[in-house]
Amino acid sequence: MAEVALIEAITMALDRAMKDDERVVLLGEDIGANGGVFRATAGLQEKFGEERVMDTPLAETLIAGMSVGMAAEGLRPVCEMQFMGFIYSAVDQIINHAARLRNRTRGRLTCPMVIRAPYGGGIHAPEHHSESTEAIFAHMPGIRVVIPSSPSRAYGLLLAAINDPDPVMFLEPKRVYRLIKQDVEDNGEALPLDTCFVLREGTDITLVSWGASVHETLKAADELEQSGVSAEVIDVATIKPLDMQTILQSVEKTGRCVIIHEAAKTGGVGAEIAAQLAEKGLMFLLAPVQRVTGYDTIMPLYRNEMHYMIDTKRIVDTVKQTMEFV
């Protein structure tokens, strides 16, 4: 058992997967001798060799295309995109090939590849380095979209993603890379995909979040408790496919729901959760479902970034408004 940050838990999971399965290979820009821009693969090339930890050219389309070919031929590639904002040139390979391979071949071929990408704001980075566009991939059939919010979940969910027979988009909230540390046992045990995690029990309102925003949500729940509001906190973790059963069970108990995510509001995953609550849980609701989200703008440069990012006050204020609805 070691106390590690989220980025260290990623490294632990990659190391464990490569030890346990020689089919697992890593590829990406500067991931070898350099260990990656955030040091997620530090030391792994030295340990496993250049044939299994491969530096690639600065070409995201090539990285994704190579991964599709490797996966189709029996390997389990884990490719790294340096930032989510650089992923768009790889979308052709991810959506038109990785996501469709099982269907296209009627199950004769699968595509067990993982695309790792740091995402989200909060580290004072320039444009293209602070994207939170998970909804693009959540909309696409054939791809799982997984977002850890803590070291322990990063370790277990990444192992599960690597073992999955189909492509997984594994988005890592870089603001959380070194935010907290947890005891994580390197035991090779995966956590379940497609399942929400209830982080805190409550009776008055359900707070639904994922990624870095989970941390502000938990702080808001602590603050709300001081004013007599019991908030249940759910970490969605896998946004595609979505575990609505856990969310619906919680809302049936509490009668109210606020959804919190960093991504822009329009067309976000929060809108899908709200729509499904309206379709399947309308009779449970005592108040309209509310969203606390990013704005429908490009993430501003770092000097103005704090005006875009969600803070605890916005969550608490929205919860109080929801609690007042009669």
Q: Identify the H or E element spanning 197.
A: strand 197-200
Which of 124, 120, 310 is CA-nearest to residue 218?
310
Please choose, from the candidates 163, 175, 174, 250, the residue with its C-alpha nearest in 3D space to the C-alpha of residue 205. Answer: 250
Residue 143 zone, left/alpha/beta (φ > 0; ψ -120 to 50; rest) = beta
What is residue 173's three-state secondary structure?
strand
Kindly report the CA angle at 224 between 230 and 274, in degrees rounded to 5? 70
Beta 257-264 vs 168-173: how paired, if at all? Answer: unpaired
Gap between the Cα atoms of 112 and 304, Å rounded:
40
Give CA–CA dist 254/248, Å, rounded.
10
Q: Which residues are registered as beta bridge partners of 257?
A: 206
CA–CA gap between residue 92 and residue 172 (Å, rounded)? 21
Tell whether omega for the bond before 241 is within 30 degrees of 0, i.e. cis.
yes
- Considering only CA atoms, give the Rg of the chain: 20
Q: Exposed, middle or buried: residue 271 (CB in 10 Å: 0-12, 13-18, 19+)?
A: middle
Q: Residue 83, SS3?
A: coil
Q: Which residues are catalytic?
A: 129
Read off the DSSP letter of residue 283. Answer: G
